[in-house]
Amino acid sequence: MKTSRRHFLRASGAAVIAAGTVATGRVWGANERVRVASVGVGGRGWDHARTANAREDAEIVALCDVDQQILDNRVKEMSDINGKSVKGYRDVRDLLADGEIDAVTFGTPNHWHVLGSIWALQAGKHVYVEKPISHTVWEGRQLAAAAAKYGRVLEHGTQRRSEPAWQRAVERAKAGVIGNIYMARCAIYRFREPFMFPATEDPPANLDWALWQGPAPEKPFSRNYVHYNWHWFWHYGNGEIGNNGPHATDIIHWIIDKGLPVKTYSSGGIFGYTEDTRETPNTQSVTHTFADGTVMLIDVRNRHTESGPSVCAYGTDGYMHDGRFFDKDGKEIPDDQTPEKVDGTVAHFANFIEAVKKGDPSAVNATAEQGHIAASLCHLGNIAYRVGRSVQFDPKTEQFVGDDEANALLTRTYREGFEVPKLA
């Protein structure tokens, strides 16, 4: 069954909830496949599509991208793989109006993650959304609320939660192998060349630039926004800390389970290059302090450095480094178990598809709430960096204390017709 985009945009509230109640209770036949669509298939979204499609109990039936050239190439490639036609959509709203789609994955730029996911949940679809789950703290809270409200499966793309090695490491840390953990550190190291922003120009005919911007207020096109360097501009991205940081911050949150901090400080800048026009720092240090005094450090470097990322936790009886445990004398603490080695992306999609087939949102390994905290630990660091001082935060209200300048950066202005709905 198909519905028009106009009908989809009108559908909300009780109508959406009623439709969703039927879909949630669906019983999947033994040989029935979950019909999946992937949105934003130029890079990571294409990994989503191929991974889901490789499963016997799932198949890619549609792809969506605002770049017609990418879309045409991917549709042909996937159709060849499947031996049958795969639908192509340029506008995600048209895709979400397609009643033949059960689940949608999002590999779009960060500023589209929450709105696209909420629209999909409202349309009765299950959702897999890439990290970071949000572009702002406020957005993440709205998506967590939407996941709870609409009763669909939502999996956040922090695939380490589906890796047995990390599951075992977290289990050991929580069991007190290194005592009480008082501090943790995330290191995000990725070399990046200097970046010079080119002049604005007309967008190419194959790209729907207005639709690419979606929720973001419109700006003139520049070819270096697409399809990757948007990461280094606050209007669309969250810098390196938001790009790769959530994988590490999610593990630390998983281990210490402290929620969001009460105090954050960040310093850094663009170092090592005399000419570089990105807005986000290529070197950044963040210190979060939680209500009980536990400290979390985030270290970002985009120049020559040791390999990474890495995750460390420090306890009263030793420390953990990337899943290996050491006592106070630096001697490794052996484990009597050897976790299975898996491809994290494959394992994570298996978890997602199995949760969809069960119709059980609680069966996912990475929830919207967990994704919200992992991303917010990065967003709060960016806000402290942007205001240039230490900030006090109230985790209960998710607002800064008496700080209008910092609070203004918890959300953004939305383009008309692409507003993220307030659900919390």
Res 307 pLDDT > 90: no
Q: Are residues 169 and 157 in the same domain?
A: no
Across the chain, how many H-helices and E-strands are there?
Answer: 14, 15
Res 312 pLDDT > 60: yes
Q: Among 128, 93, 134, which residue's Cα sits nearest to residue 111? A: 134
Res 226: pLDDT:
93
Q: Are residues 88 and 182 in the same domain?
A: no
Mean pLDDT of 349-354: 98
pTM for the model:
0.94
Mean pLDDT of 117-142: 98
Residue 419 lies in a domain: no
Give the Cα separation of 58 and 35 in Å (integer). 6
**Of the listed ranges 4-13, 229-238, 269-278, 296-305, the one predicted with least confidence:** 4-13
CATH at residue 117: 3.40.50.720
Q: Are residues 29 and 156 in the same domain?
A: yes
Mean pLDDT of 124-146: 98
Q: Among 124, 156, 128, which residue's Cα sits nearest to residue 24? A: 124
Residue 414 lies in a domain: no
| One-letter amino acid of 399 | Q
Please list the residues that pair with 104 across neighbouring strands. Answer: 37, 127
Say what percent of the chain tops pLDDT 90. Answer: 88
Local structure of 59: helix, strand or coil: strand
Please list the residues that pair with 36 across neighbouring strands. Answer: 60, 103
Model pLDDT for residues 216-272, shown as the tens digit of each residue: 999 999 988 999 999 999 999 999 999 999 999 999 999 999 999 999 999 999 999
**Of the listed ranges 4-18, 20-34, 263-277, the one predicted with least confidence:** 4-18
Q: Are residues 130 and 269 in the same domain?
A: no
Q: Are residues 206 and 304 in the same domain?
A: yes
Task: Give the pair of three-digit tokens for residue 277.
Answer: 């026009």
Q: Are residues 153 and 182 in the same domain?
A: no
Mean pLDDT of 288-316: 93
Res 329 pLDDT > 80: yes
Give the Cα separation of 96 and 94 in Å (integer). 5
At 274, the pLDDT band (50, 70, 90 cuts) reads confident
Where does 159-259 show beta strands of DSSP type E? Answer: 181-189
Q: Are residues 148 and 237 in the same domain?
A: no
Res 192: pLDDT:
93
Give 15's DSSP letter.
H
Res 22 pLDDT > 50: no
Res 18: pLDDT:
36
Q: Are residues 143 and 167 in the same domain?
A: no
Local structure of 187: helix, strand or coil: strand
Give the Cα separation of 321 and 169 in Å (integer). 10
Q: Are residues 403 and 302 in the same domain?
A: yes
At 306, the pLDDT band (50, 70, 90 cuts) reads confident
Residue 422 lies in a domain: no
Average pLDDT, the chain: 93
Model pLDDT for residues 353-398, shown as the tens digit of each residue: 999 999 999 999 999 999 999 999 999 999 999 999 999 999 999 9
Give 126's DSSP letter.
E
- CA 306, 183, 312: angle at the middle one, nearest 5? 35
Residue 353 Cα distances to 190, 239, 246, 364, angstroms: 31, 31, 22, 9
Residue 424 lies in a domain: no
Residue 413 lies in a domain: no
Res 2: pLDDT:
42
- Count of domains for the chain: 2
Res 195 pLDDT > 90: no
Q: Are residues 245 and 376 in the same domain?
A: yes
Q: Are residues 82 and 197 in the same domain?
A: no
Residue 283 lies in a domain: yes
Give the Cα separation of 331 and 58 in Å (integer). 46
Task: Give the pair of three-digit tokens for residue 236.
Answer: 């669309």
| One-letter amino acid of 14 | A
Q: Are residues 24 and 148 in the same domain?
A: yes
Range of the domain at 394: 163-339+372-408
Residue 275 lies in a domain: yes
Residue 423 lies in a domain: no
Instruction: Return the exposure string of 267-281: e unless at least 16 CB atoms fall within 10 Å of the residue's CB, then b.
Output: ebebeebeebebebb
Residue with tokens 């400080």: 265
CATH at residue 169: 3.30.360.10
Give the Cα separation of 135 and 144 in Å (integer). 13
Answer for the pair 60, 86: CB distance below 8 angstroms, yes or no: yes
Spacing of C-alpha 208 from chain mean position: 23
Mean pLDDT of 37-63: 97
Q: Among 121, 62, 69, 142, which residue's Cα sits nearest to residue 94? A: 62
Mean pLDDT of 299-318: 91
Res 6 pLDDT > 70: no
Res 25: pLDDT:
55
Residue 38 Cα distances to 69, 108, 139, angstroms: 16, 10, 21
Give 332's DSSP letter.
B
Res 41 pLDDT > 90: yes
Listing DSSP states for 354-418 in one string gives HHHHHT-GGG-SS-HHHHHHHHHHHHHHHHHHHHTS-EEEETTTTEETT-HHHHHTTS----TT-
